[in-house]
């Protein structure tokens, strides 16, 4: 199958009923439930864009092995132009959702590409696993599937390892091996877009301890496989609110779910890693995963910063606070963060690294810096938006007031500076509220803080793995040579 259309994606969801639980009810067909209508529509739009002549050259490429077109995120890179094409594709999809849908299909398409590009890491345990990774990449690419992923164990007792929890299978683990595959039991938390995905990819982030062998695993399964259950968080929007009042929340809410595996059989050809703590811990660093995924998340993060900062600028102009020096200082700082982020992306492409396979990948340091930096920068931008929007964010009328007996009052008292009509000013402040105040905005903030892992440990790893430490030190050594021997100075004084 060449790249899918939105309709093919939706038909695929319908044809594979799943166990998605929301407020105590099981929803088998997510396409017909209001809580999932908006994200399904948005993902479908992204698939349709692959067929739009305006975008298709950016969003797709011809796969040399098949002669068919696939999503650009699946493309391995040989040149800087290839890396730029990848970034352009990330940008086009991110701008379509204003960066609000962090786990659009290109994120995990990139992940499976990065795994296949460094499949030898999986081969360290078993050559079969290496082949499985390569075949799975081709399968996802050639069928243009939409994946979710679930890496994090549930927060039951963070002071204990997985094997040491009250029940060994609270954190997902392998119960036993059979001739057909491995039997997996337990939970993983927070599969964003899981309810409306085709498949789930499970692997570990580093941190497993000796004893965690049965928790060291990587595999992929269709989300409708027997024994897989998803428990959704309460939705913020279920179709009852107007897009005037909540322009972002009514369009871009990504459902999040806890994934439970009730003794699920993962066939051997879907197993990529099993029973090896050392390789599970090394996987993140030794594959090309972190380089390539950080490229996608950086491009997406820039789109989101642009929307948030653009909203802060427009809001300031709307009520003419933009002439005050402290407002300009705040906006200037936000703009500086945005431009630094764009600079990191370009640097990661120009200073590319060559992989063991002879392909290239974006440089790690600028993207790692950006990944850790965004966790702290986005909340600061939102704080600027809250500070500048102030009480105006809260006193906005609703869409219905514009066509009611109080319409004249609304038109009069909600107008902006320089004759800005109330309808436009309120629309702008509603956008700002979705970003900075609504439950949707709170999730977006929490997403940026946590999607790449714990901000504390991530920032510390910026120091731990900094690749230019020796350069820093040699500079210091040279500077220290400027200081004379204190004993000599003491004698001559």
Ligand X SMILES: Cc1cc2nc3c(=O)[nH]c(=O)nc-3n(C[C@H](O)[C@H](O)[C@H](O)COP(=O)(O)OP(=O)(O)OC[C@H]3O[C@@H](n4cnc5c(N)ncnc54)[C@H](O)[C@@H]3O)c2cc1C
Binding site for ligand X (CB under 6 A): 103, 149-152, 155, 158, 190-192, 256, 443, 446-447, 450-451, 453-454, 456-457
Residue 96 or 152: the one with the smaller Cβ distance to ligand X is: 152
As a whole number of angstroms, the distance between CA 175 and CA 265 comes to: 10
Q: Which is nearer to ligand X, 418 or 456 (CB)?
A: 456
13 or 319: CB nearest ligand X: 13
- Residue 77 or 281 with smaller CB distance to ligand X: 281
Reading the block at residue 464, the tokens are 């731990």
Task: Name the region of 483 (left: φ>0; alpha: ψ -120 to 50; beta: rest).
Answer: beta
DSSP 77: B
Residues facing 214 on adjacent strands: none
Count of C-beta atoms within a 10 Å radius of residue 15: 9
- Closer residue to ligand X (CB): 107 or 129: 107
DSSP bridge partners of 69: 62
Q: Please, what is the minimum distance in Å from the beta carbon of residue 23 to ligand X?
A: 19
d(CA 64, CA 452): 32
Minimum gap (Å) between residue 457 Cβ and ligand X:
6
Min dist. Cβ of residue 110 to ligand X (A): 14
CB-based burial of residue 117 (10 Å sphere; 0-12 exposed, 13-18 middle, 19+ buried)?
A: buried
| Shortest distance (Å) from residue 205 CB to ligand X | 7
Q: What does the alpha-carbon distance between residue 1 and residue 143 come to, in Å, rounded to a whole number?
A: 5
Residue nearer to ligand X on the CB measure, 50 or 297: 297
- CA atoms of 164 and 211, how far apart (whole Å): 8
How far apart are CB 191 and ligand X at their closest, in Å? 5
With respect to ligand X, which residue has the nearer C-beta, 184 or 360? 184
User: In a 10 Å sphere around its CB, with 0-12 CB exposed, 13-18 middle and 19+ buried, how is residue 402 labelled?
Assistant: middle
Pick between residue 389 and residue 453 the one whose CB is nearest to ligand X.
453
**Residue 45 CB burial class (10 angstroms; 0-12, 13-18, ≥19):** middle
Question: Cβ 151 to ligand X, closest distance in Å?
Answer: 3
Q: Which candidate, 12, 41, 43, places its Cα nearest to that of 199?
A: 12
Residue 41 CB neighbour total at 10 angstroms: 13
């Amino acid at each position: 199958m060449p790249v899918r259309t939105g309709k093919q994606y939706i038909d695929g969801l319908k044809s594979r009923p799943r166990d998605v639980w929301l407020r105590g009810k099981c929803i088998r067909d997510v396409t017909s439930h209001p809580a999932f209508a908006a994200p399904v529509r948005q993902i479908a739009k992204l698939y349709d864009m692959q067929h739009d002549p305006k975008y298709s050259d950016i969003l797709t490429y011809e796969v040399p092995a098949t002669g068919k077109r696939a999503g650009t995120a699946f493309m391995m890179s040989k040149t800087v132009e290839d890396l730029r094409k990848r970034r352009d594709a990330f940008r086009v999809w991110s701008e379509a959702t204003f960066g609000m849908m962090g786990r659009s299909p290109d994120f995990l398409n990139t992940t499976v590409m990065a795994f296949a590009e460094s499949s030898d890491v999986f081969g360290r345990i078993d050559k079969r696993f290496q082949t499985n990774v390569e075949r799975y990449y081709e399968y996802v690419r050639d069928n243009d599937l939409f994946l979710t992923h679930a890496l994090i164990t549930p927060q039951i007792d963070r002071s204990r390892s997985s094997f040491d929890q009250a029940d060994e299978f609270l954190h997902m683990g392998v119960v036993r091996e059979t001739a057909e595959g491995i039997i997996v039991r337990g939970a993983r938390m927070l599969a964003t877009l899981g309810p409306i995905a085709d498949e789930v990819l499970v692997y570990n982030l580093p941190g497993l301890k000796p004893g965690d062998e049965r928790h060291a695993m990587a595999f992929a399964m269709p989300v409708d496989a027997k024994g897989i259950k998803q428990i959704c968080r309460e939705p913020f929007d279920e179709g009852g609110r107007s897009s005037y009042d909540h322009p972002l929340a009514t369009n871009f809410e990504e459902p999040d779910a806890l994934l439970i595996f009730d003794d699920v059989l993962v066939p051997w050809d879907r197993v990529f890693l099993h029973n090896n703590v050392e390789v599970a811990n090394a996987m993140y660093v030794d594959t090309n995963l972190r380089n390539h995924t950080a490229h996608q998340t950086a491009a997406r993060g820039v789109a989101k910063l642009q929307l948030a900062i653009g909203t802060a600028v427009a809001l300031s102009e709307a009520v003419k606070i933009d002439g005050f020096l402290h407002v300009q200082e705040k906006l200037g700082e936000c703009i500086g963060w945005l431009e630094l982020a764009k600079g990191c992306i370009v640097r990661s492409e120009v200073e590319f690294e060559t992989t063991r396979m002879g392909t290239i990948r974006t440089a790690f340091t600028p993207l790692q810096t950006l990944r850790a930096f965004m966790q702290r920068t986005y909340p600061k931008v939102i704080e600027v938006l809250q500070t500048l929007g102030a009480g105006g964010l809260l006193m906005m009328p609703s869409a219905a007031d514009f066509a009611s007996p109080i319409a004249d009052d609304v038109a009069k008292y909600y107008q902006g500076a320089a004759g800005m009509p109330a309808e436009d000013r309120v629309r702008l402040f509603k956008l700002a509220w979705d970003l900075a105040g609504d439950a949707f905005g709170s999730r977006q903030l929490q997403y940026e803080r946590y999607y790449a892992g714990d901000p504390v440990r991530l920032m510390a790893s910026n120091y731990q793995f900094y690749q230019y430490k020796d350069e820093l030190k040699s500079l210091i050594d040279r500077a220290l040579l400027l200081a004379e021997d204190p004993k000599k100075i003491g004698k001559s004084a």
